[in-house]
Structure 1
């Protein structure tokens, strides 16, 4: 079984460098162009299943990659972390206005919670549950997953048997795709941030 992981195309928030996860932004013109490039790279792949988060930037990207009319399977567990009161704010402003909360996050991000947001432990649990269930699919088909940086990096670390903190080793590009094979429960990373036309192995 083969999985193609694609991070949604860029939004205006990605450019401005603010925290955002649950804020439901659409793709920027640049993000649309990035997604179309990924579509070109993967044009030779016939996806048997496409899984996306609830957020429009993920679904919009998927619609640009898969053929028109293809069904999207929405899984809310693939939503990005909800940063609560930190949404759409720059870290420098959070540090200045909520220094104690910011310091807790910097000191222990795995156990801290953004003000009014989602605990990282809850985020990690739902993403790992989705990764485990998706990885156990029995269909011998190519599956496309379009989601977010935090989700995809944690999903990949889970499949590769790595600890949660290993997610920081996988910076997914907005204009690229990643390929992971599940060979009878043994996971193999084939491509990371590929930016060329995918050639199916014979």
Structure 2
């Protein structure tokens, strides 16, 4: 039975939608990184999104763990035209679309971007491939807020609307056991 340790990348200090833009993470809180590293199993495999903020965080946590290739399926939601724009500007420009995206997540997508369902399906492809190639191994995945929420949703069998009530802070870990359908920790900060 494998457990999945979903780590959100380090803080980016962005005040805008940050999807596929390749921004760095702030890893200056070395004490927090050391606590997180000590909490994570040393014999687990580690993989990350291919975006810089996740790669940097995975580098900081790799230690003696075996690293898998970066996986673009684990990228944050693709916010399209919204990427790099402040949330309030989106709401001002297109209130109805903005409200629909957050209040009824599913098939609503930003212009040129992905819907919740499209993002979740993309992430599921990457997760399934990792699970098939590494059965019965604990996996550490350094990923993004939205990506982690799609996996909490999938494992717990809850709606996108319900899962959006969860907080996932930078450098937190969410521990999921897909076979048991449980989340033993969500947004844990060692």
Classify the TM-score, shorter chain. Answer: 0.7 to 0.9
Distance 1:114 1:68, change over 3 A: same
Structure 2 gap segments, 5+ residues each:
none
Structure (1 or 2) with the greater strand fraction:
1
SS at match of 2:59: helix
Structure 1 gap segments, 5+ residues each:
197-202
1:193 to 161, 178, 187: 187
Asked if 1:115 is matched to 2:142, the reply is no
Residue 64 of structure 1: aligned partner: 60
Query: Could you report, residue by residue, the CA deviation over 1:19-54 in whole angstroms, capped at 9, with x for unpaired residues?
Result: 111111101255666444422433xx2234212111
1:41 to 27, 36, 39: 39
Query: Could you report, residue by residue, the CA deviation over 1:156-176 in whole angstroms, capped at 9, with x for unpaired residues?
Result: 220222233332133222132
Residue 153 of structure 1: aligned partner: 149
TM-score normalised over the length of structure 2:
0.83
TM-score normalised over the length of structure 1:
0.79
Give the CA RMSD over aligned residues.
2.6
Offset of 1:177 from its aligned partner?
Answer: 1.6
1:95 to 91, 98, 103: 91
Contact 1:158–1:164 (Cα < 8 Å) also in 2? no
